[in-house]
């Protein structure tokens, strides 16, 4: 089933949310959530590549919204990211399942931070003294 476009799209810079009205529902999606869950290949990956989970996007802003035909929008963020195409169905799903996706992201982000803070170090013995 095709999701119809929202009746209203509004950027709220103060609260850093994107308001989407899919009658009768209205969703307030945080910019950070939209950025870290971008449907782009950079974030999602290409085939076997797992993609890259963005971190530290709490202060990211949306600087531009461009229609993509009748089925989606492209969001441009102030960190330069602009390659995700957000379909109406994807945006509606994010709105309906916002809390689930947010909690999932927090778990993945914490795991990635831990991996970045710990690493395996290989001990190399110095050559014998002559």
Q: Which two tokens stand for residue 51?
A: 């993609």
pTM of the model: 0.85
Beta carbons of 98 and 25 less than 8 angstroms apart = no
Q: What is the pLDDT of residues 82-128, one digit of tens each?
A: 999 999 999 999 999 999 999 999 999 999 888 888 766 677 777 77
Beta carbons of 29 and 18 less than 8 angstroms apart = yes
d(CA 90, CA 38): 10
d(CA 48, CA 127): 41
Per-residue model confidence (pLDDT) at position 26: 97
Sign of the alpha-carbon dihedral angle for 70, 66, 84, 57: negative
d(CA 82, CA 76): 4
């Amino acid at each position: 089933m095709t999701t119809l476009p929202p009746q209203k799209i509004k950027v709220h810079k103060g609260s850093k949310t994107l308001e989407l009205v899919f009658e009768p529902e209205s969703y307030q999606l945080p910019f950070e959530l939209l950025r870290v869950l971008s449907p782009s290949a950079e974030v999602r990956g290409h085939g076997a590549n797992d993609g890259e989970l963005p971190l530290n996007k709490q202060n990211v802003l949306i600087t531009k919204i461009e229609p993509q035909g009748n089925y989606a929008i492209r969001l441009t963020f102030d960190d330069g990211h602009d390659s995700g195409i957000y379909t109406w169905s994807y945006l509606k799903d994010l709105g309906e399942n916002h809390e689930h996706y947010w909690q999932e992201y927090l778990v993945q982000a914490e795991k990635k931070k831990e991996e970045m803070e710990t690493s395996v170090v290989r001990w190399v013995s110095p050559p014998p003294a002559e």
